Amino acid sequence: MLITDASVERLPFPNATDKSPTTAPTTTPTTERGMWTVNSIGRLGNQMGEYATLYALAKMNGRQAYILPQMHQQLAPLFRITLPVVSSDVVRNIRWRNYGLHDWMSEEYRHIKGKYVRLTGYPCSWTFYHHLRQEILQEFSFHDHVKEEANRYLAGLRGQRRNVTYVGIHVRRGDYVRVMPQIWKGVVADKAYLEKAMGYFRAKYQEPVFVVTSNGMQWCRENINASQGDVYFSGDGKESSPGRDFALLAHCNHTIMTIGTFGIWLGYLVGGETIYLANYTLPDSPFLRVFKPEAAFLPEWIGINADLSPLLGGT
């Protein structure tokens, strides 16, 4: 089933990023540049968003960025991150100015006052750091052994195919299955969405291979049609090894995400075509007060509208 024009959404650039951001001065001595950090909360995608936002905003404001030990523990095993780590003792002894961020870039973030600032929130928006895209991609480049493991696994799926195109699929379920309808007036991806997204790649590429990871793998096995022999369910379906799943999908050529920051970062790092679930909340959802779709999904990504009928009394 091909995507129809009505279900494809290409988002415009938000106004907030029309101007080129100022660059950080390079001549300021480090000792004079203070110490900025960011809270280390949430899972892998959240941590990546926090890291990238700190990296960009500290640079924009001419400050030196440091990460907390717990963020280093989450990200350093996977990525060649370069920001220095501040010790727990130092963290406790500094009188930080806590500075809350919403999830998109705003003009005032170019002029944050304070030498000792701790950014707070769950920022994960390209509008903070897209002007530094190459640097961010470098920060999130994988260690060689991680790369090799992922590429070895993908090579094993090739079989007799000569012109293979790898499409990573991340299906976020878990707590979202309950939280989206009950708290955010939203839905998670359904079977029809995944069929449309996979249909797009099957129509466009000669020999696609779909690599599926999820924290709801049983649902995936029951709802994703693998009868064509081009679908591989990878990972253990648990949340114990998100780094392995992330690395595997990040080495594919294209991305099908559902919802969540894990999938957003996959699309950003892979850089191929990305299909995402669009308009997955009702218009009056409180989620839209803290989340701007146009600041989360790159304009060139392809959105397929969610089926909201379950929220409206449909089946």
Q: Give the residue, 29 or 231, on which the prediction is more confident.
A: 231
Contact (Cβ atoms closer than 8 angstroms) between residue 61 and residue 111: yes
The tokens 């397929």 sit on which residue? 304
What are the boundaries of each domain within the chain? 15-139, 143-312
- Helix or strand or coil: residue 303? strand
- Helix or strand or coil: residue 17? helix
What local confidence, expressed as pLDDT, does residue 16 receive? 36
**DSSP 3-state percent helix, strand, coil across the chain (nearest 5):** 40, 15, 40
> pLDDT tens-digit profile of 56-110?
999 999 999 999 999 999 999 999 999 999 999 999 999 999 999 999 999 999 9
pTM of the model: 0.88
Q: How confident is the model at residue 226 (pLDDT cuts 50, 70, 90)?
A: very high
The secondary structure of 38-84 as a DSSP string is E---SSHHHHHHHHHHHHHHHHHTT--B-B-HHHHHHHTTTB---PP
The number of residues in the chain equals 315
- Helix or strand or coil: residue 250? helix
> pLDDT tens-digit profile of 252-302?
999 999 999 999 999 999 999 999 999 999 999 999 999 999 999 999 999
Domain 143-312 has CATH 3.40.50.11350: yes
**152-157, Cβ contacts within 8 angstroms, sequence gap of 24 or more:** 153/234, 153/248, 154/209, 154/211, 154/248, 154/251, 154/252, 157/209, 157/211, 157/232
What local confidence, expressed as pLDDT, does residue 238 receive? 62
Pairing label, strands 116-120, 97-100: parallel
